[in-house]
Structure 1
Amino acid sequence: MALRAGIIGFGVAGRYFHAPLLRAAGFHIPAVVTSKPAPAQEYLGDVDVLATADELLARKDIDLVAIASPSPLHVPHAAAALRAGKHVVVDKPLAPSTAEVSELEHLATQSQRKLSVFQNRRWDSDFLTIKKLIEQGRLGKISSFHARWDRFRPQVTDRWKDRDEPGNGILYDLGTHLIDQALMLFGQPEWLYANVFSQRPNSKTVDGFEILMGQGALRMTLGVSLMCADGGYRYRVNGSEASFLKAGLDQQEEQLKAGVEPDEHFFGGEPTEQWGTLVHGETGRREVITPETGRWLTFYEKMREAIEEDQPVPVSAAQAYDTIRVIEAALTSSAMGCRIDLQPAAPLVSR
């Protein structure tokens, strides 16, 4: 019998990310929690639309709960789901603090349930391409990694993301993806220096940041601005043999919003005008690189295997802890105006 998943929250993340990916990975979705029934009924058909998370968690026909509610609700919703004996996927960020991540990890261990974090950008086309180039040694020894996610959104909205609440702001939103990708490629930094700021008029949350991280001779630079009309390069990776330059965003989000299903054969592909360039150091020759296919579906396929076969979850709470730990250090660095040395992280059960 197919595993049964319930979704808490059916906004952009619930409707366009979790629901299509869950279905394509073989999950059945009997119920969702949302205040707007129409989108859920239109997409899922015969689905129970519930008003509260408690109603969903009380049901016996739910094996996994995907939490796509606003970030300030992630911790209470995840804790309640684990206490109710459900396996849990939480959209990023898992929690605003490492202390809360540890609490959720402890709850998951106590309840003997799987807990994972939806860091879907690990399966972006561009990131998978960079990972492959590094693994193949085509760049040589990496000296610097630069990743940006700039946008032009100068107006503050009345959406929950722009409210001054724990877990909100661009550092927790897009920053979690950039940090997670850097940690996946290179491991934990030894130190960091950060400038975290708000630039938009009447902004109540962080809407920009610059983080410099070091690990031996390697430098990692991560940044986001919401006041940038020209996105420029998303990635610039420099090594002893070559550099890789990449502009443009992975296409999966736009494809899902356009109604393309994640199991269609062309899903996750990139237009040729966005393909990255490998610049060879000795000759300066520029080589266009055929990208890897993006595949967010891998996340929920691995989550299904974790539940059915007791395999590791695709993104562990321990990995989420490491990401939030960097965010906490970045906030401290920016507030104090100094470099923060990062000691080895405390062990968690899921490491």
Structure 2
Amino acid sequence: MLNVGLIGFGLAGRAFHAPLIAATPALRLAAVVTSRAQEVAALYPEARAVASVDALLADPAIDLVVVATPNDTHAPLARAALEAGKHVVVDKPFALSVEDARELAVLAVTHARMLTVFHNRRWDTDFRTVEHLLRDGTLGEVHLAELRWDRFRPAIKQGWRETPHAGAGLLADLGPHLIDQAIRLFGVPEAVSADIAIQREAAQVDDYFELTLHYGSRRVILGAASLVAAPRPRFALHGTLGSFVKYGIDPQEPVLRAGGTPSDPGYGVEPESAWGTLFDGEAGERRLRSAAGIWPRFYEQAAAAIVEGSAPPVEPEDAIAGLELLELARQSACEGRRLRFPRR
């Protein structure tokens, strides 16, 4: 069993990482760097609270370090963990710059350590359903795809995500997920054009974005906004044989945030009322059962990568490509023009 040290016990650490680590037979949540020692003790009695990152990294019993902290600390903490000889999981975004991300990837190879990025949305119900549709050719040749993540949050939430500094804003928060999903489905684009804005009166960081990825005649649109009370489809794909439209967000997050676990009955399974609709040009329309959401698969694959030497759940190169697109999108929005994406 691999001993895991978790850095951070805020939303990401408490609701996303800790429950998934605890649900993975090959992993043991051994230590958490946090000031919330009582909360850790109540939820995970076998894990000890550690006062500092240095103390965690100096512990030879810790095999895997998980970085679940504010965005601007991801790269420095991952670097320190790799230099301490630990395997590393970094929450998204991988880093705040492509340069830092590439440096981390090289460092992992140098130290012969597993490095991966927590793009858990690859195991969402809706995304897995769309993957199956594209793999089976159900929609034919897809010429338009829209991936959106809308919210209705007129009030500004307290916390670092909405405070002006590096790594804040909606694009840094949801952009990495949407970009990673688009690359998984369609590969890297030929070009990108972007619009990024601050729409809420009291907001100080971007709270709206619309990215268009160009693949020849195909367009893949990624969008998120904070003032949408009637959400647009989460996925809308239109091809030569039909369309697929899906509303709503994957159900795994609310279960974990409410204190549930992946072992709860019905975890990751959507009710029929949440299924998407498949529109066939000839046969009409029908509801399509959603594939099961399986976030636990991420840590299962991370453990296997360490123990067996198999591929990590998310290759660092994939996350780097996503960061390259993110940087290019910011430049496109600033300059008001379409920019070509470097081919790999």
TM-score (norm 1): 0.96
Between the aligned partners of 1:289 and 1:158, the Cα distance in structure 2 is 39
1:282 correspondence with 2:277 = no
Once the two structures are TM-superposed, the CA of residue 273 in structure 1 deviates from its matched residue by: 1.1
Contact 2:29 2:46 in 1 (8 A): no
1:34 correspondence with 2:53 = no
Q: Deviations over 1:52-84 (max 9, x none)?
A: 111111101100001101111101110000000
Q: Which residue of 2 aligns with 1:305?
A: 304
Equivalent position SS for 1:161? helix
Equivalent position SS for 1:266? coil
Once the two structures are TM-superposed, the CA of residue 201 in structure 1 deviates from its matched residue by: 2.2
Per mean C-alpha deviation after superposition, the further-off stretch among 77-86 and 40-49 is: 40-49
Once the two structures are TM-superposed, the CA of residue 232 in structure 1 deviates from its matched residue by: 2.6
Q: Deviations over 1:185-225 (max 9, x none)?
A: 00000001100111122322221100111112211001000
* Structure 2: tracts of 5 or more residues without a match: none
Task: Spell out the pairing of 1:249-268 with structure 2 (5 A cutoff).
Answer: 249-268=249-268
Count of matched residue pairs: 343
Between the aligned partners of 2:33 and 2:182, the Cα distance in structure 1 is 34
Contact 1:83 1:111 in 2 (8 A): yes
Q: Which residue of 2 aligns with 1:200?
A: 200
* Structure 1: tracts of 5 or more residues without a match: 346-351
Contact 1:15 1:39 in 2 (8 A): no
Q: Which residue of 2 aligns with 1:95?
A: 95
Task: Spell out the pairing of 1:178-189 with structure 2 (5 A cutoff).
Answer: 178-189=178-189
Between the aligned partners of 1:39 and 1:12, the Cα distance in structure 2 is 13
Task: Spell out the pairing of 1:23-62 with structure 2 (5 A cutoff).
Answer: 23-26=22-25, 27-62=27-62
Between the aligned partners of 2:61 and 2:7, the Cα distance in structure 1 is 15
Equivalent position SS for 2:158? coil
Q: Which residue of 1 aligns with 2:7?
A: 8
Once the two structures are TM-superposed, the CA of residue 178 in structure 1 deviates from its matched residue by: 0.6
Q: Which residue of 2 aligns with 1:348?
A: none
Between the aligned partners of 1:153 and 1:324, the Cα distance in structure 2 is 26
Q: Which residue of 1 aligns with 2:84?
A: 84
RMSD of equivalent CA atoms: 1.1
Between the aligned partners of 1:240 and 1:91, the Cα distance in structure 2 is 37
% of aligned pairs identical? 42
Q: Which residue of 1 aligns with 2:343?
A: 344
TM-score (norm 2): 0.97
Q: Which residue of 1 aligns with 2:322?
A: 323
Contact 1:156 1:201 in 2 (8 A): no
Equivalent position SS for 1:312? coil
Equivalent position SS for 1:253? helix
Q: 2:20 is aligned with what amino acid?
A: L
Per mean C-alpha deviation after superposition, the further-off stretch among 74-83 and 28-37 is: 28-37
Once the two structures are TM-superposed, the CA of residue 265 in structure 1 deviates from its matched residue by: 4.4
Equivalent position SS for 2:133? helix
Between the aligned partners of 2:81 and 2:205, the Cα distance in structure 1 is 28
